[in-house]
């Protein structure tokens, strides 16, 4: 069954390792016959949520920036893959800001069921992504029809391009094929 897959990359660094992981996932999902769209947060204006909760009544954010268009894409997707570098053992700030701004989705008739997390870090300890998984897990818990369908960590990648030849690229491709 063909799915609508949204891949959101959150690194602001050109040629980033997490972007490469996202590209491998997207390629696998597309080759499996899914409709795939990738959105990069690079160059996007994402203001912080102001906590007004107007979106709970109107399903629209009062802030005029790039977040509402991305959130609408999230609403319409069957599966969402978030790609992020790990900064200080957490999701990068721009991804966390987007998740906060996705508050209009709460209580809506969103389509997504499967959520994926693709992470990269200079640190190669297997426990490195645990807090990032916890942060995304808290967001997923607010959406009772959604679940963490998979996560992948590529450690030991620091400079842009370090991920070339990393086994995580093939794993991301395979995960995308199965999404």
For the chain, state the CA radius of gyration. 15
Residue 143 confidence (pLDDT): 96
pLDDT at 103 exceeding the cut of 90: yes
If one counts the domains in the chain, the total is 1
Mean pLDDT, residues 42-64: 95
Residue 175 has pLDDT above 90, yes or no: yes
- Reported pTM: 0.97
Measured in residues, the chain has a length of 179
DSSP bridge partners of 90: 87
Q: Which of 18, 34, 168 is nearest to 82 (CA)?
A: 18
Mean pLDDT over all residues of the chain? 97
Q: What is the pLDDT of residue 167?
A: 97
For 53, the domain range is: 4-178
Comparing 97 with 1, the larger pLDDT belongs to: 97
- In 20-155, which ranges are E strands? 35-40, 79-85, 114-121, 147-155
Give which of 25, 4, 8 is closest to 69, Cα–Cα: 8
- Residue 1: band (very low, low, confident or very high) from pLDDT cuts 50, 70, 90: confident
- pLDDT, one tens digit per residue, over 121-155 is 999 999 999 999 999 999 999 999 999 999 999 99
CATH for 86: 3.40.50.360
């Amino acid at each position: 069954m063909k799915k609508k897959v949204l891949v959101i990359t959150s690194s602001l660094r050109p040629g980033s390792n997490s972007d490469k992981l996202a590209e491998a996932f997207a390629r696998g999902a597309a080759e499996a016959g899914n409709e795939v769209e990738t959105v990069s947060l690079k160059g996007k204006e994402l203001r912080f949520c102001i906590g007004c909760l107007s979106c709970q009544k109107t399903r629209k954010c009062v802030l005029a920036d790039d977040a509402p268009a991305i959130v609408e894409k999230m609403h319409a997707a069957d599966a969402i893959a978030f790609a992020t570098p790990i900064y200080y053992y957490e999701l990068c700030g721009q991804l966390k800001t987007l998740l906060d701004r996705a508050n209009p989705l709460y209580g809506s008739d969103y389509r997504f069921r499967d959520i994926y997390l693709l992470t990269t870090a200079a640190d190669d300890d297997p426990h490195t992504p645990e807090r990032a998984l916890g942060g995304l897990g808290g967001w997923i818990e607010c959406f009772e029809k959604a679940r963490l369908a998979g996560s992948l960590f590529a450690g030991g990648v620091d400079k842009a391009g370090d991920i070339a030849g990393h086994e995580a690229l093939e794993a991301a491709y395979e995960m995308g094929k199965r999404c």
